[in-house]
Amino acid sequence: MKKHSKIKAWVLSFRVKTLTASVVPILVATSLAWAEHSRLDYQVFVLTLLASFFIQIGTNLFNDAIDFKKGADTEERIGPKRVTQGGYFTYKKVLFMAVFFLVMAFLCGVPLVIKGGWPFILIGATSIFLAYGYTGGPFPLAYLGLGDLFVILYFGVISVMGVYYLHTGTLHWGIAVAGLQVGLLATVLLAVNNLRDFEQDRKANKKTLVVRFGSSFGQFEILFLYSVAYILNFYWLYKGFYGPLVLSLLSLPLAIYVVRFVYSTKPSPLYNSCLAKASASHIAFGILFSAGILIG
């Protein structure tokens, strides 16, 4: 394989379209910290963003290799080609790269632990462990139907609360609400992915929520995730922030598109474009929500 082809294959393995899940929590937490306390620690912003990127990429690489090993990714796959499945790289090489990115995440996390204290040892350790435990180990979350909960917590609630605390040294219930909104929207990406891969996952005994409860549940889950995320905006109206409610509604057409798509289209390669729309709705909500918080 040519060098430039290898680079493209690695970029493919990172699943760039889904990396909004790493950006949005940092953006929202930082905006809240500035709006409420006029505090912005640039080192915290950069290091948390890098650590989040590295953990998600590591998770994606473990997922790529382990799903291939377990038979969840085969030639029948209708989603984007995975690098292990496609023969671009060996199983061991993909695992090695996954470990490399987790080491990078660990190095970025050291200054954050020094600043935030022992709770961030726990957050960092569990984040790194679950990057592998999402698809690997004796109790793989994705194969037990727990992947959705993992995303809500680690790419939503825990991430937003952790970054906000590092900026301000304080916490309040509103930060958990913002984290939940972010986590719900990140989980839409996973739900669309699982609905698309329903048949292949079922054959591989990968018991996602869609496999456990059926495709109709998968459609409803996406509607539910979006609905709760947007309804929670009224909390900010109650707290006197009009901006998040008004501006974030500009991202609603993308959410409506995704919901209508999954209810009208059977799982097929067309879902790959729907996944891109779900990612766009996530980053659009994050940017607009953050702008609304800063406006007040």
Domain positions in the chain are 18-295
Q: What is the pTM of this model?
A: 0.91
Kindly report, residue by residue over 170-218, the tens digit of the pLDDT: 999 999 999 999 999 999 999 999 999 888 888 888 899 999 999 999 9
Determine the Cα–Cα distance for residues 85 and 25; give it in Å rounded to an integer.
Answer: 31
CATH of the structural domain 18-295, one choice from 1.10.3470, 1.10.101, 1.20.120, 1.10.600: 1.10.600
Kindly report, residue by residue over 73-124, the tens digit of the pLDDT: 666 666 677 888 878 788 899 999 999 999 999 999 999 999 999 999 999 9
Question: How many helical (H) and strand (E) elements, i.e. helices and strands, does the chain have?
Answer: 16, 0
- Spatial contact of 170 and 200, defined as CB atoms under 8 Å apart: no
Determine the Cα–Cα distance for residues 240 and 199; give it in Å rounded to an integer.
Answer: 46
Name the H helices within the chain.
3-14, 20-37, 42-70, 91-116, 118-133, 141-144, 147-152, 158-168, 173-196, 198-203, 209-213, 215-231, 233-238, 243-248, 252-264, 271-295
Give DSSP secondary structure letters for 71-95.
Answer: TSS-TT--SSPPTTTTTSS-HHHHH
